[in-house]
Amino acid sequence: MSSKKRNVYIVGIGIISPLGYGLDATEQALRKNESAIAPLHVFSIQQPPPLPVGQVQNLPDVTTFPRTHCLAITAARQAMEGCTHPPDAVIIGSTTGGILTTEELLAAQDQDAHNYRYHGLTTVAEEVAREVQCSGQALTVSTACSSGTVAIGMALKMLQSGKAEWILAGGVDSLCHLTYFGFHSLQLVDPHGSRPFDKNRQGMSVAEGAAMLLLSTIKPKNPLGQILGCGLSCDAYHPASPHPEGKGASRAMQKALDSAALKAEAIDYINLHGTGTIENDRAESKAVRSIFPQPPPLSSIKGATGHGLAASGAIEAAIAAICLQKGFIPANTGCRQPDPECQLTPILHPDDLPIATVLSNSFGFGGNNACLVIAQPDLFSSPEPAGQSRPLTLLGKACITGAGHTQQSMERFSQRETMAGTVDLETISEQLPVRKVRRLKRFSRIALALADAARKDSGLDHSPHCVFMGSGWGSLSETYDFLDKLQQSQEQFPSPIDFVGSVHNSAAGQIAIMHEATGANITSSGGDYSFEQALLAADTFLDRDDSSNSAFVLAADEAHTQFSPLLDPSIQPAAPLADGGGCLYLCRQAMPGKLSLQLTFFRKKTNTVIDELITASGGKETLQRNCRMILAGIPAAEAKEGQAQLDSFLEKSGLTIPVIPYREFTGEFASASAVAAVMAVHLMESAEIPAGKKILVLGFGMNVTCMEFWRQ
């Protein structure tokens, strides 16, 4: 990685929202200052009248994909118009995935697992990558309502570091029963439609949509804008409510400005998160005033579009580009009388003003805050890159399997006995404070137990600053229980607790609260490669040689009697279920004698992927000289192809070292590679592998991945 400055340009934009299709239609709708929020008609409900929502009209049918996938593919096609080559990576933020189709299947009591194949969040990114012919990484982030902004921020960091030249990034969500009834159960929906910052506002309007930005370090002929900076933070305060003083939001805004190397007074317009709920708008107002004593023009567009959840930040980034290109500020639609308690004066009518810079805010459940600085191209000097990254250093580790916690699991592994199965909830929670976890179900408890054990294993008296978590399926118990109760009660009694717990990033948010981790908090959902995606996110954002910039990097999944056999193709009917996960406590600071690790390879399967893996690992001679052992992960659903990939790797590399198929020990669940990482650490510590010699944890199947472990 060189230290060359790299500007990140917006090359293409695709947008589909309740306002319409494409940039021109979106601009014209915003200039009219009319709300597109209307009574729900995307699906029928049993308890009328329908609440107002923001819904996309006349969505094109994209084969047999769920609605979220159709939205994403439609936006991706727009963004890629005129581009003659595929992006190096696709990064998409989403919270719903194929849930609308899953809801319909569950209501019909459909037990055919094939029909649930698009449920997972990762399938959205995978299908978009297939549509745009991307053979690189297809990554999914799920940080609730900041997901789209986080995806764009991650693309920015990867492009600035030189890891890619072209990335398609954005966010998407569709309307579904889970979010429609979920937000209503929290009493956060305004029956008259969202009115952000209005004195009489009563809540939000749930919406849907998608926006995709094609970003590149190669300047196009007519760039649509430049992404200058990104700031992430976590409130570490409450699972669903923002910090009342807006402290996390304020940190994210300041980090975005620092990342862009700009002062607050350089911002010409703030696109507010502004959902229309009492607490969110007040907290954001305090955050804005803490950074901007005299705020520039500002507004929220959610009174026009509704709140598109994971799509909202990406939609607003696209609208920021419109503002820059057209010298236009959209109105705070729906606001008639600004709330004096907010002490802000949002723009009430669309205005034409020259705009050079936009700060765009996105805040979500779990206190996940993300902000972007978007500017006119080449108007500001690009910030200096972070420089060459060090490998990550291990401070602590933990795992949970069917055998129990780390010690019991590694004892089984050392004896070459299976760890597969599901440990009881009492054993999982034995070191957790009863009062804090009494309302939490299996998934969150596994994650909290992993983080707590990894911190204790480190021997340090402080917790890390950041949380990077992976999960293939997220909170299955809460999701199933919410939908089941909704159906059993004829949609009258949805559970607000289950709804809050159902979001993929709920567990990472709980970790942040318990450990006061106020830095970046990112949940990745990459199916069987979720831990590798979490590690990639950590490697992307932990870019300073700073011992205080440390992180939990973990992945976990829970077994669920009804959902797991339907959703995970590696679980055979009537097969025993397994679950668990692993956690590593990591930092950037080099520490002699400590173990180091690095994600050296992550690509979709292609005809040349094994050759590329060998090259990325240093070549055949380097592998033969340094590699001492391989832990190989092949999901059962990918058994034939995965085994062929492993055989090809061994043949082409000439390696004749021990190969351990780790899923034979862990059982089949999406986050098994996180346990394999702990197994690799255990082997490094117990097998007396010399300094500089490596253990590889390889993943095969739909993707091919490589994690390297060695002692410094």
Rounded CA separation 60/67 (Å): 10
φ/ψ (deg, to 5) at 209:
155, -175
What does the block give as tokens for 342? Answer: 């907010």
Rounded CA separation 384/261 (Å): 9
Rounded CA separation 192/42 (Å): 18
The string of DSSP codes covering 538-576 is HHHH--S--TTS-EEEEEEE---TTHHHHH-TTS-TTPP
What does the block give as tokens for 210? Answer: 């998608």
Residues 6+ apart with CB under 8 A from 690: 711
Peptide bond connecting 48 to the previous residue in cis, omega within 30 degrees of 0: no
Q: Are 397 and 678 spatial neighbours (Cβ–Cβ below 8 Å)?
A: yes
368 strand-pairing partners: 234, 364
Establish whether 273 is a catalytic residue.
yes
Q: Are 97 and 502 spatial neighbours (Cβ–Cβ below 8 Å)?
A: no
Q: Taking each helix axis from N to C terminus, what angle separates 22-32 and 312-326, rounded to the nearest 10 degrees?
A: 80
Q: Are 180 and 51 spatial neighbours (Cβ–Cβ below 8 Å)?
A: yes
289 burial via Cβ count (<10 Å: 0-12, 13-18, 19+): middle
Rounded CA separation 228/221 (Å): 19
Angle, CA 558 vertex, CA 556 and CA 562 arms, to 5°: 155
13 burial via Cβ count (<10 Å: 0-12, 13-18, 19+): buried
Establish whether 145 is a catalytic residue.
yes
Whole-angstrom Cα Rg for the chain = 24
Rounded CA separation 331/333 (Å): 5
φ/ψ (deg, to 5) at 336:
-105, -40
What does the block give as tokens for 390? Answer: 């060090």
Kindly report the number of other CB atoms within 10 A of residue 574's CB atom: 6
What does the block give as tokens for 611? Answer: 């050759």
> Of 8, 615, 540, which is closest to residue 321 (Cα–Cα)?
8
Residue 344 per-residue DSSP state: -
Angle, CA 95 vertex, CA 92 and CA 98 arms, to 5°: 90
Cα distances (angstroms) measured from residue 470 to each of 443, 538, 666, 671: 12, 11, 17, 8
CA 139, distance to chain mean position in Å, is 8
**Dihedral of the CA atoms 512, 517, 523, 528 (nearest 10)?**
-90
Q: Are 166 and 216 spatial neighbours (Cβ–Cβ below 8 Å)?
A: yes
> Of 371, 417, 436, which is closest to residue 231 (Cα–Cα)?
371
596 strand-pairing partners: 393, 710
Among 69, 307, 465, 560, the one annotated catalytic: 307
Among 70, 134, 145, 466, the one annotated catalytic: 145
Active site residues: 145, 273, 307
